[in-house]
Amino acid sequence: MKSNTKNAKGSGTIRKRSDGRWEARYTTGIDPKTGKQTQKSVYGKTQKEVRQKLTEDTAEIDAGTYREPCKMTVDEWLDIWLKDYQIGVKPSTAYLYERQAKLYLRPELGNIPLEALKAHTIQHLYNKLSQGHDGQPALSSKTIKNIHGVLHKALQQAVLLNYIRYNPTSACVLPKIVKKEIHPLTDHQTAQLLNLLKGSKYELPLTVDLFTGMREGELLGLMWDCVNFEKGTILIDKQLRKGQEKGGKYYFSPPKNNKSRTLTPAPYVMKLLRAQKVHQTEQKLMAGPAWEDTGLVFTNEFGRYISYRALYDSFKRMVNQIEIPSARIHDLRHTYAVNCIRAGDDIKTVQSNLGHATAAFTLDVYGHFTDDMRTASSQRMEGFITKVLNL
């Protein structure tokens, strides 16, 4: 059978194959080992399609920007990226990356060649996850954003390595995240909780948390060498974390945003920490040789860390008694922040005390609680006006 062959613009030929497809062959260079030309082919349904592909590739060869097509699948690239490109990533974050890849990315995208992955394919996946499918519940917008973040980072690294020309996730549209309403404790609920805490096993750590706004991991990871009684300050430079995998172990990591901060809490908090020092000395005497000197401020009866679960169970029993069963330990942090704002602290100070990355983030979370501050400011100005008018 006579082939339909035609000279292409640039270096290459185009022909129609016996299977009906069109093929363009072109020279990519010289093999240094054999001295022979190396050739590649591109395929398409029409002559116009392969001519366009041929023109693009030969133009890149002339410009010196040509690269070999990547033969890896998405699955294969995720294996490499998760193994070799997570340097400096926290273990808990690396675990979440692997889990999101396993549950959501690999099943739908894994077999697709890396170069063939298109934005609309990814968008279709996000839409399915958002709406729920095959009996699976719909995922929240925040979860989909996290999944997108994993895929975007993985593909961006592939772009940097010239495995793909562009990152297809950049063209995807994510579902809008609806900000969750926070629920700080009211003054009455705070008083009720403090009464229940008196004499309880975790009275001191939970009370300190309520009056400092520390994250739970920062509280449980606080060391005595970070408490300066002379200056009345607390250095937050680490947090106690637990691996998210089943049976995960506890470990220390830097604070969120990798930024240390120094708190100057109310004198009452330093008084509580002095009481904890005395209490811990008593625990040490009772434990005898079984005591482990970890340097932690809040410990169990043997000097070791307090588990997240133990603190959580104790807290939940108490909030159930005051009929706010949905309250979380993290709501103590919200309560502290809101009370700081109500007391007149400026947002920059609140941001610094909470360890937020920016004041804008603090405003985004707690901005609606500044209404009381504006009212109080108005009343102060009214008092000033009355005063000067009567001079």
> What are the per-10-residue average pLDDT scores of the chain (391 residues)?
41 82 80 71 85 79 64 93 90 90 95 93 95 85 95 95 90 88 92 95 96 96 97 96 82 89 96 96 95 96 95 96 94 94 89 93 82 72 85 75
pLDDT at 3: 44
pLDDT at 383: 85
Shared-domain flag, residues 97 and 234: no
pLDDT at 7: 40
Shared-domain flag, residues 141 and 218: no
Asked if residue 272 lies in contact with residue 208, where contact means CB atoms within 8 angstroms, the answer is yes
Shared-domain flag, residues 8 and 38: yes
DSSP readout, 296-307? Answer: BSSB-TTSSBPP
Shared-domain flag, residues 107 and 192: no
pLDDT at 53: 82
Torsion (CA) 10, 12, 17, 21 in degrees, nearest 10? -50
pLDDT at 260: 94
Shared-domain flag, residues 93 and 192: no
Q: Is residue 150 part of a domain?
A: yes
Shared-domain flag, residues 261 and 240: yes
pLDDT at 66: 57
pLDDT at 9: 35
Domain with 270, as residue range(s), is 187-374
Shared-domain flag, residues 130 and 230: no
Look up the CATH number of the domain holding residue 108: 1.10.150.130
pLDDT at 5: 46
Q: What span, in angstroms and rounded, lies between the C-alpha atoms of 301 and 159? A: 53
DSSP readout, 150-218? Answer: HHHHHHHHHHHTTSSSS-GGGG--PPPPPPPPP-PPPHHHHHHHHHHHTTSTTHHHHHHHHHH---HHH
Q: Is residue 384 part of a domain?
A: no
Q: Is residue 385 part of a domain?
A: no
Look up the CATH number of the domain holding residue 362: 1.10.443.10
Q: Which of 171, 204, 237 is the last residue of a domain?
A: 171
Give the Cβ contact number of residue 68 at 10 Å: 10
Q: What span, in angstroms and rounded, lies between the C-alpha atoms of 273 and 297? A: 8
Structural domain count, the chain: 3
Shared-domain flag, residues 238 and 284: yes
